């Protein structure tokens, strides 16, 4: 009799774990897919609009990054290697990135970079880890992911485009 009870408890725990892992995988995949939208918006704004505009032209863009985005930045090379541990420091210290490539690093993905026709100078953007807490775990189970919002003002100069936090 007690074997049936123990078996039922173990089976219930396995079922709960399977449902939890499927739910978190689904929400992580959705979050990762939404994570590239700001990257595309910035790239399109710079490449399609500002690179070919007059000096002094300005645009403002509201960017919301999911917690899966570890870093969004400009780079002189698509092969620049930045340690995952360095992203939070660069974001918190508001370091400026410079280059003709715009790059995004998402959690569990390789760095994706696209070349642009003009140089971009922008602050490092991305999610800063909050750490592990019960409230963060509950939010994750409920499918509520944190977002990091930035308002950027892009300005066209003679030989580069500057993005500054507003």
pLDDT per residue rounded down to tens, the chain (166 residues): 778 888 888 888 888 888 777 776 776 666 556 667 889 999 999 999 999 999 999 999 999 888 888 999 999 998 888 888 899 899 989 999 999 999 999 888 889 999 999 999 999 999 887 665 566 667 667 766 678 889 999 999 999 999 999 8
Q: d(Cα 119, Cα 116) in Å, to the nearest integer?
A: 7
* CA distance readout (Å), 105 to 1, 13, 34, 142: 53, 35, 13, 25
Distances (CA, A) of 48 to 24, 65, 90, 120: 36, 21, 27, 13
Looking at the structure of the chain, the number of domains it has is 1
Q: Answer yes or no: are the C-beta atoms of 159 and 51 closer than 8 Å.
A: no
d(CA 120, CA 159): 9
User: What pTM was estimated for this model as a whole?
Assistant: 0.74
65 contacts 87 by C-beta, under 8 angstroms: no
Q: How far apart (Å, rounded) are the C-alpha atoms in residues 127 and 69?
A: 6
Contacts of 154 (CB under 8 A, 6+ apart): 45, 46, 50, 58, 59, 60, 61, 161, 162, 163
What is the domain extent for residue 36? 2-165
């Amino acid at each position: 009799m007690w074997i049936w009870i123990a078996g039922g408890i173990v089976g219930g725990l396995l079922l709960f774990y399977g449902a939890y892992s499927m739910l978190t995988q689904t929400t992580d995949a959705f979050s990762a897919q939404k994570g590239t939208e700001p990257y595309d918006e910035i790239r399109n704004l710079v490449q399609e609009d500002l690179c070919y505009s007059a000096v002094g032209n300005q645009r403002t863009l509201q960017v919301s990054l999911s917690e899966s985005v570890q870093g969004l930045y400009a780079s002189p090379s698509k092969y620049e290697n930045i340690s995952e541990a360095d992203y939070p420091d660069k974001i918190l210290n508001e370091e400026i990135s410079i280059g003709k490539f715009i790059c995004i690093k998402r959690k569990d993905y390789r760095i994706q970079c696209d070349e642009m026709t003009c140089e971009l100078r922008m602050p490092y953007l991305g999610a800063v880890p909050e750490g592990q807490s019960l409230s963060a775990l509950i939010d994750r189970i409920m499918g509520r992911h944190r977002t990091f919002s930035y308002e950027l003002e892009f300005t066209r100069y003679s030989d580069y485009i500057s993005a500054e936090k507003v």
